[in-house]
Amino acid sequence: MPGNGQNGSDEQTNAYRQRVLERASELFYQFGFKRVTMDDLSVALGISKKTLYQFARGKDALIEMFVNDLADRTFEQASKVFDATDDVVGLTHRLVDFLGSRMQFISSAMVVDLQRHWPHLWERINARRMQVLDRYLRVIERSVDRGILRPEVNPKVMTRMVQVLVTNIINPKTYLELEITPRQAIETLMTVLLYGALSEKARKERKED
C-alpha cells in the first residue's frame, strides 16, 4: 500500500525528488544555472537549506541530477515516438511536435551556462541526442531501401546534416536572433531536408493522399 513499507517510502522519495526538480527547473529556466543559488532553491521550495543539502550535496550535484533527469526522460519519450511509426515522413512530423514541446523546458541561459561551466553535462545531453539520431539513421536507411527516399541519399550524410542543423538552429539563442518559435525552426528544417530527399514515387503518393 502507498505510504507503507519500502514501496511507500520509495514513492514519497520519488515524489519529493520530482517536486525539487520541477521547482528548480523553473528557476533554472528563468535565470540559468550559474545565477541560481541553494538559498534561492530552499526559499522557493519552502524548506531549509539543511534539508535541501540532504537531497543534494551541493548545487553541482543538483544540476547534474536535473540534467540527467531531463536527458533520460527526453530520450524515453523520443523512443516512444520511434516505436509509434516506421514511416520516415510520419516519424519526422511526430519528431517535430516532440522537439517543439521539449524545447520549452530549455532556455538560452541554461544552454550557455552548461556549455561554459558544466561542459561534461552538455556532452551528456549530446550523447543522448546521438542515440536518438542513430535511431533516425536506421529509419532513413530503411526508407532508402524501400524507395521512399531518393537512391542517391546517403543515410549517414543526411543524419549528420540533421545533427548539424539541430545543434545550430534548434537552440534558444537562434530563436531570439531570428524571432521565430521552436516549432517554426524545426518545421522549416525538416521540410527542406526531408521533402528534398523524397523519391519521385513517394512525392506522387503523398500528393494523391
Asked if residue 111 belongs to a domain, the reply is: yes
Q: Which of 188, 183, 185 is nearest to 101 (CA)?
A: 183
DSSP string for 71-128:
HHHHHHHHHHHHHH---HHHHHHHHHHHHHHHGGG--HHHHHHHHHH-HHHHHHHHHH
Asked if residue 193 belongs to a domain, the reply is: yes
Cα dihedral angle (45, 103, 81, 19), rounded to 10 degrees? Answer: 0
Asked if residue 187 belongs to a domain, the reply is: yes
pLDDT at 4 over 70: no
Q: How confident is the model at residue 2 (pLDDT cuts 50, 70, 90)?
A: very low
The more confidently predicted of residues 53 and 105 is 53
Q: How confident is the model at residue 1 (pLDDT cuts 50, 70, 90)?
A: very low
The pTM of this model reads 0.76
| Mean pLDDT rounded to a whole number for the chain | 85
Asked if residue 12 belongs to a domain, the reply is: no
Asked if residue 31 belongs to a domain, the reply is: no
- The residue range of the domain holding 136 is 59-208
**Given CA atoms 137, 140, 145, 151 in this order, what sign does their dihedral have?**
negative
Cα(161)–Cα(183) distance, rounded to whole angstroms? 18
Asked if residue 22 belongs to a domain, the reply is: no
pLDDT of residue 43: 95
What is the pLDDT averaged over residues 38-49? 93
Cα(160)–Cα(145) distance, rounded to whole angstroms? 19
Q: Which of 97, 200, 74, 85 is nearest to 139 (CA)?
A: 85
Q: Which residue matches cell numbers 537562434?
A: 174
pLDDT digits (tens, 9 = 90+) for 150-183: 999 999 999 888 888 777 766 667 777 888 776 7
Asked if residue 198 belongs to a domain, the reply is: yes
pLDDT of residue 171: 66
CATH of the domain at 74: 1.10.357
Asked if residue 120 belongs to a domain, the reply is: yes
Question: Is 1 within 8 Å of 8 (Cβ atoms)?
Answer: yes
For the chain, how many structural domains are there in total? 1
